[in-house]
Amino acid sequence: MAKRNKKQDETAAEAAPDQNAGKLGYKILAGIGATVGGTVARKAMNTGWKTATGKEPPAKPEHPDVKWSEAATWAALSAAAVAVARVLAQRRVAATWQRASGVLPPGMDDDTST
């Protein structure tokens, strides 16, 4: 086990708050991006549903008066649209972070196989 000197300990202590601040900043930006992406997707789904069916999307798909096929279709389409929009928004935030800082966002590594 190698001994560390006082200067190395001070340098490590100074780097930790910067890393934590970066992680928090990225998490906040990614959360905002995901929220905006989800909101845009929901609005687009509502408009698309009205255009395709000519009626309002089910406000409460679990209500017994809503047809099973309509409830299941709405649930599947809206969940997929929101999930894709959130991923796209978070990817955009990560790409912007990388362009601005020159490094990948905190918690991401170069291994894209997982």
pLDDT digits (tens, 9 = 90+) for 40-87: 999 999 999 999 999 999 999 999 999 999 999 999 999 999 999 989
pLDDT of residue 18: 62
Concatenated DSSP letters for the chain? -----HHHHHHHHHHHHHHHHHHHHHHHHHHHHHHHHHHHHHHHHHHHHHHHHSSPPPS-TTSTTS-HHHHHHHHHHHHHHHHHHHHHHHHHHHHHHHHHHSSPPTT--S----
d(CA 61, CA 3): 64
- Model-level pTM? 0.67
Is pLDDT at 20 greater than 90 in this prediction? no
Percent of the chain with pLDDT over 70: 78
pLDDT of residue 109: 74
Q: How many residues does the chain have?
A: 114
Distance separating the N- and C-terminal Cα atoms of the chain: 33
